Amino acid sequence: MKKVVGIESLLAWRRQRAEAEAPPAPSGAHLLKLVQPWWEMWPDRFAASVRRLAAVQLSYGYAMAHPPHGHSGHPVAALISREQDGDQEAPARILYVSVRDGRLRLRFQLAPIPRSDRVYDVTFISETGLRPILSASADLSGEDEYRLDVELPSDLAAAWQSLKVTDPMPFRFILRPADSN
């Protein structure tokens, strides 16, 4: 015996079943927590990293016969923060910096480290106040360079507009391998 079922009732049946199997919708508090930056989620860990980063005194020592002239960059203090291995200092060389149309384009190279990752979450820590000012994702580009492209807040865009790669950088880095988030 053939039972005739209308298409509307079939769709209604399917919707009811999907609703019954679907996970509950996340709460507003949970969504807020997901967009929270990591330094607010783990303030103790961030404070420890900043303390260590602040202790890094980084500059080139010129032991050469003739001082360099013109195009010489300044190293940027960077800390690679891994959950398992702890923090590791690895000074970064800024290879390219461009602030245009409110976006920062940056390429940097880390000092040789035993293990490098393909993607880092980069937290910019202000050089003066040691506060987090920006966060972006940096991808490995080429063999040993990382590149990031991020929209800047208007105040930073204005302040960094004339930044040159040869200037001392107004920030330090905390790098977190992307898979550790």
Q: Cβ closer to other proteins: 45 or 170? A: 170
- Residue 92 to residue 58: CA distance in whole angstroms: 10
User: What residues contact 128, with CB distance under 8 A and at least 6 apart?
Assistant: 170
Q: By CB under 8 A, how many residues form the interface with other proteins?
A: 27
Give the binding range for other proteins (CB under 8 A) out of 77-85, 121-129, 141-149, 173-181: 141-149
Q: Which residues, numbered 38-97, are part of the site for other proteins (CB under 8 A)?
A: 60, 62, 68-73, 75, 93-97
Residue 105: CB minimum distance to other proteins, A: 7
- Residue 41 to residue 24: CA distance in whole angstroms: 24
Q: How many CB atoms lie within 10 A of CB 116?
A: 15
Q: Give the three-state DSSP class for 78.
A: strand
Residue 94: CB minimum distance to other proteins, A: 7
Give the binding range for other proteins (CB under 8 A) out of 14-22, 49-57, 128-136, 164-172: 164-172
CA angle 45, 38, 100 (to 5 degrees): 125
CA angle 66, 72, 73 (to 5 degrees): 140
Q: Residue 23 is which amino acid?
A: P
Q: Which residues, numbered 107-136, are part of the site for other proteins (CB under 8 A)?
A: 107
* 170 near other proteins, rule: CB under 8 A: no
Report the residue from 87, 89, 127, 149 that binds other proteins according to the rule CB under 8 A: 149
Q: Give the three-state DSSP class for 126.
A: strand
Q: Which residues bind other proteins (CB under 8 A)?
A: 60, 62, 68-73, 75, 93-98, 105, 107, 141-143, 145, 147, 149, 164-167
